[in-house]
Chain A
Amino acid sequence: MIAVHQLTKHFPEGPNAVDHVSFDIPAGSSVAVLGPSGCGKTTMLRLIAGLEKPDDGIVLVDGRRASDPSWVLPPHLRDIGMVFQTPALWPHLTVEQNILFGVHGLRRREARRRTGELLEMIELEGMGNRYPSQLSGGQSRRVALARALAPRPRHLLLDEPLTSLDRGLKWRMLSVIGSELKREAACLLYVTHDAEEAERVSMRVLQMESGRIPEQGPVS
């Protein structure tokens, strides 16, 4: 479960990038955030992940206080899987090593199986030994998605994860995300530009506008 209350962040020049935002995502449910470029979506995800410190407000993860203006729980202790707006794959690690980075306590064979399974889900079987520079834009994005899913996190933060994919592949990847969610009873925060994609992800779509989320609730 993720909840934010009056979450606010401003950067030295300019107005609040995130402006007193409140909402919650119960375990096992998902929320899509839709909004124009520069409205603060990425900043909000980074605040929830613990990569930025809020100027005001709090972030609760699983009911525990994870961020407030004076203290931030380190990101890796929040049980989060995250896809960044650019794939951000470590260029010196292979696809397989990238995917397994966040997984711990698995034996070699199990780890192999897990990567095989994930590569199959993202339709990149046999590419485990490639390096990120040998992938296309859309392939890198899918690897970033697999990296986020690999440790079976209970919270998923996805920042426009499927932007450069064709429609068919996009819907297939969405159903992969959906089935992982169900299995782990995880909660999902999904950022996108695309209204149709947002509706497919969740009944609940939050409209973000210059750092604020004025209206809440399911799209009619």
Chain B
Amino acid sequence: MNAADRDIPMRSRHLGWSSALHCAGLVLFLVIVYGPVGALVVESCRAVTRSNFDWLLLALPSGRRAVLLIRSVGLASGVALSSTAIGLLVACTLWQWRAGARAYVRWGLLLLAPLPPYIHALAWTSTWTAFTTLLHFQSLSSMTGWLGAWWILTMTWLPVSTGFALVGLESVDVALIEAGRVARADSHVFLKVAVPLALPYIIVGGVFGFVLTLTDYSVPSLCSVNVTALDVFAEYSASNEPARAFLRALPILTITALAAVLCQAPLQRAAQSPPWRRREPSPSLAMPRWLTQLRRAALALMVMQIAVPLLSLLVATGSWKSLTLSIAAARSDIADSAWQAIVTVALCVPIGLAVAQELDGHGHRARLWLFLATAPLAIPAPLAGIGVITMWNRPAWIDLYGSSLAPAMATSARFAPFAALIMLAQWRRLDHLLIDAARVHQTSALRTWLQVRLPMLAPGLAAAACVVFALSIGELGATLLVTPAGASTLTMRIYNYLHYGASGTVAGLCLVMTAVAIGAVGLALAILGGWNIIGLSTDRGGRS
């Protein structure tokens, strides 16, 4: 078998095929994710030059709106700080849970990560009301206002910040910590070695909390506080002018884009850190008493973060019968939601894969794609919805726009970056020599794909699919705007009920949503965990 006998043209055609698919994925990503924003920018420029120059003033917050913006940013900063601090304390406990059953429990605490914020809002407000009534504190009877919104959003994003901090701590080489323990006290080593090395991840988690809070309007609206994101939504509902809504959103868009830019450096470091190769459990560090107490308190909050929604929804639903009744009544909405989520997964996973491969490089190109993949996370949900409307609501596309594909386009625009980042995270954990070995010994490109690349990618693909499914089932901000007249999804039904306070029914539907979130994340974790156990990750495979 020498080189000359081999069928070179055939192989280069295969290579051509896979790179053509790859490029198609990248282009589709740009169209789906950036198309809506691009359409909004074009539309706004057109509207402004069509003599509505005074509309430009919409972009400059003044008076009441400036105060509103400051308050919104204050709320987002508060939520980011509190959830990062609690998340780090929780993660530092979970980090040491590596033996026995606790090793499984620790990731289980992240189950509610994709649960939409308004469900947390419902759960916490009803629990609070029950609690204050029980204790006869009627004066405090409802969990509304800024404080309520801050608390609910902190609880909502706690699993996200905990997850980032935990991944960060996990990625620290145990040898580095042990080298420090020889010289200094454990708490010193934790603060001077472990936390600084995990810092990029912790910062990214905090920025996520900040941006997600700033762009959410569901919780503020349920807590009766006004924020800029709600103002954008209201502007569009009142004027039906995409350009006006876009200009209104420019201030928060600037701030979130700035946050996205600022977190490029830590993201870069997190994305490029060497794949984790951990064989030893994390050392159990002796911490000072006060830190141990704080960690216990944080863990208790984390448990409440799961227990409160679950228990209060179960209690509010009442009985099995009322659960089945509310499901039966919402049957078609559930089907619509599921369909939307399936289409979103089918779109996001392949294009996310193409982007993830671009992200896994070193040069300027990888840096550019990292920016392109993370910047869309800064787009407020209603803007994503309005963008999809502006882009697709044209005579040529009217069939597409009127169909149930439009909501899936909106959720894809929001969640394709998540798919890419999850796949990148899994991909980075693999030993890249395994791919090099396949390149050297390859007999056919297809076979290399099926036998080596696909099995190695599979857990990432599956985990991304699960998470995107859960996120798009719960998506509200964009779906609410885009769903064609007459159609309705599960989230819309819940959100509408929430404002009327139809508690038994809505609690049942929220329970369905919670079950979907838990099921999806549980499945993703089981896939990733099972993959670890059968030895597919670098942790155990290919010992040297």
Contact = CB atoms under 8 A, between A and B. Distances in A.
Contacts of B434: 88-91
Given A90-B452, A137-B543, A151-B1, A77 B436 contact: no
Contacts of A88: 431, 433-434, 436-437, 542
Contacts of A10: none
B543 A90 contact: no
A89 B540 CA distance: 11
Contacts of A82: 437, 440-441
A152 interface: yes
Interface in B500-540: 534-537, 540
Interface in A66-87: 74-82, 84, 86-87
A147 interface: yes
A102 B436 CA distance: 13
Given A132-B535, A133-B540, A90 B438 contact: yes
Given A76-B443, A86-B542, A91 B2 contact: no
Which of B1, B4, B440, B535 has the most chain A CB within a 10 Å cutoff?
A: B440
Contacts of B544: 86-87, 137, 140-141, 164
Query: What is the size category of the interface that chain B forms with chain A?
Result: 20 to 34
A151 B441 contact: yes
Contacts of B15: 74
Nearest to A141: B544
26 contacts: A46-B436, A74-B11, A74-B15, A74-B439, A75-B442, A76-B439, A77-B11, A79-B2, A79-B6, A81-B440, A81-B441, A84-B436, A84-B437, A86-B431, A89-B434, A90-B451, A90-B455, A92-B455, A97-B451, A102-B440, A132-B541, A133-B535, A135-B543, A137-B544, A147-B437, A152-B1
B456 interface: yes
Interface in A55-74: 61-62, 64, 74
Nearest to A86: B544
Contacts of A79: 1-3, 6
- Secondary structure of the A contact surface, majority rule: loop
Contacts of B3: 61-62, 64, 77-79, 154
Nearest to A62: B3
Contact of B441 (A102, A133, A136, A154): A102
B8 A77 contact: yes
A152 B15 CA distance: 24
B541 A104 contact: no
A104 B542 contact: no
B139 to A, nearest CB: 62
Given A104-B443, A132-B541, 12 more contacts: A62-B2, A74-B11, A76-B440, A80-B440, A82-B441, A88-B433, A91-B434, A91-B536, A101-B443, A102-B442, A103-B443, A151-B443
A140 B442 contact: no
Contact of A101 (B362, B436, B441, B455): B441
Nearest to A51: B436
Contacts of A101: 438, 441, 443, 451-452
B268 to A, nearest CB: 14
B541 A51 contact: no
B371 to A, nearest CB: 20
A156 B434 CA distance: 18
Contacts of A12: 362
Contacts of B439: 51, 74-76
A93 interface: yes
B424 to A, nearest CB: 20
A171 interface: no
